[in-house]
Structure 1
Amino acid sequence: MQTAIFGDIHGNLEALTAVLQTLGNLGIERMFCTGDIVGYGASPRECIERVRELGIPAVRGNHDDYTTHTDGREWRVRPEAREVIHWNRSQLDRSHLAWLQGLPYVHREPGFSVVHASHVYMPPWPYLLNERATIHHFLFQPDDLCFCGHSHVPMVAMHRPGQRPRLDLLHNLLLPRRQVVSIGVGAVGQPRDGDPRACVVLYDPEVRSVRVIRVAYDVAGAQRRIREAGLPEDLAERLSQGH
């Protein structure tokens, strides 16, 4: 059964709506979310409710984590992100916060796992963009295949025992056998690979294929929401730039 994995929605309702519509048109009903449902965008409540109502298994991202805690964890982020964290708290009620706080750090399915940043999943939330972080991640990855988010860039990391891991930008591929693989699924709500379209990964376990699809959405509408909410202008501008 074809499976969609996506994440880093970041309160971008326009992007999430377009992604869900596209997946529906493709007949894909099995979905997983790599976390960061909130943060940066101006629709945290609506995005939580869409994921929750559809029953999409999701893991907790760092922005989800920061939003549910008031112990200073948000100081690890940039000032504009910190501002949005506090704003998110003012927009969400207890049920939204409780749902975010109840998200696990790891979700496992037969044959693969889903995390937000890495299987080294506690702060400081490493990015799998270099060899050192990837080696550490693979030490703890419990299955041959893992899907993650956090970097906002579609990436693939492969590791064969006794060899150094290989990292590359993710394109369509057939998963190799006898290798451990980690797939970075890019971002729905704030891509950072130069392509402003929402990013989703499709996985077909029967043929071991991984495919990247990009979904155009109403960027101007998402930008307008950010500006109307009084959030930092940079968060609106970068949506049309894809970085």
Structure 2
Amino acid sequence: MLYGICSDIHSNAVAFQAVLESMKENGVERRICLGDLVGYGVDADECVRLARENMDVCLIGNHDSVAIKYESSTGFNPYAKQAIEWTQSHLSKESIDYMRTLPYIYEDNDICYVHASPLSPADWVYVTELEDALDAFDHFSGRYCFVGHTHSPVIVASRPMAIPKILDEYEYTIEDTERLLVNVGSVGQPRDRDPRSCWCLLDSETKCVRLIRVDYDIAQTQERMRNAGMPSFLIERLAVGR
């Protein structure tokens, strides 16, 4: 089975469509989104629709949770807060109803999917350090765990009786005794200094995981945001991937 896993769409429909096309070109058979369909950008309803129509599994992210008023935006920075308040005023009832059905975590045989960390899915714990990865490995039982939230792709491998290792490569075939924690990066707002969208391809037969970058029309997304009056900081960061 070929799995396509993506995360952090952030109301960027142009990028989302490019990733969906890339998944199709790569023969993906099962599509999973790890959440944050909305926030930052201005294509909230369109991104929710694309997820509803194309994803086999979709999870809730922290921006989604605030958008549908499960929690407040108190912890957001001023730019994120402005964007999520704009999103709240523009989301359709259909989108809200769909987002309210989304789970925090999903397990499928030996694969775990979660937006932030399996440690405490609804608390939005960031996995940014090796210590965070250690905690994450302790809270899923399968061979693979796919996460998002940080917007930066990375593969971490763990073997019995050994400290997990952060891998330099973006393509890796798992060994018999290993388990993997994979951050699939971001579709709509990468932050690893590469502005291209990112998603992850898992081949369950060959046990190979590959992080794939996809070009999209950044200027088109920026123009949509500019027309909606989004902060220039949110607009300009898309071109530099930060």
TM-score by length of 2: 0.95
1:133 and 2:165 correspond: no
Distance 1:19 1:194 in 2: 18
Change in CA separation of 1:128 and 1:102 when aligned onto 2, cut-off 3 Å:
same
CA offsets per residue over residues 86-134 of structure 1, 9 Å max, x none? 1111111222112112210111112201110110234541221212211
Distance 2:36 2:194 in 1: 19
1:185 Cα deviation from its structure 2 partner? 0.4
Change in CA separation of 1:181 and 1:90 when aligned onto 2, cut-off 3 Å:
same
State the match for 1:231 in structure 2. 230
1:22 and 2:22 correspond: yes
Q: 1:107-186 maps to which residues of 2 (within 5 A)? A: 107-122=106-121, 124-186=123-185
1:104 and 2:126 correspond: no
1:184 Cα deviation from its structure 2 partner? 0.5
Q: 1:42-61 maps to which residues of 2 (within 5 A)? A: 42-61=42-61
Show structure 2 runs of 5+ residues with no match: none
Change in CA separation of 1:131 and 1:85 when aligned onto 2, cut-off 3 Å:
same
Report if aligned partners of 1:203, 1:209 keep a CA contact under 8 Å in 2: yes
RMSD over aligned CA atoms reads 1.5
Report if aligned partners of 1:7, 1:34 keep a CA contact under 8 Å in 2: yes
Distance 1:141 1:60 in 2: 18
Give the match's secondary structure for 1:75.
coil
Distance 1:2 1:70 in 2: 33
Distance 1:123 1:113 in 2: 15
1:26 Cα deviation from its structure 2 partner? 2.8
State the match for 2:192 in structure 1. 193
State the match for 2:11 in structure 1. 11
Q: Which 4+ residue blocks in structure 1 deviate beyond 3 angstroms? A: 121-124
Report if aligned partners of 1:115, 1:148 keep a CA contact under 8 Å in 2: yes
CA offsets per residue over residues 133-164 of structure 1, 9 Å max, x none? 11221111121211111111111122223322
Bigger Cα displacement from structure 2, 187-196 vs 52-61: 52-61
State the number of aligned residues: 242
Distance 2:71 2:150 in 1: 24
CA offsets per residue over residues 13-37 of structure 1, 9 Å max, x none? 1101111122223332321111111
Report if aligned partners of 2:200, 2:211 keep a CA contact under 8 Å in 1: yes
Change in CA separation of 1:207 and 1:122 when aligned onto 2, cut-off 3 Å:
closer
The alignment-based identity, stated in percent, is 36
Distance 1:6 1:118 in 2: 15
Report if aligned partners of 2:31, 2:55 keep a CA contact under 8 Å in 1: no
Which amino acid is 1:51 matched to? Answer: A
Show structure 1 runs of 5+ residues with no match: none
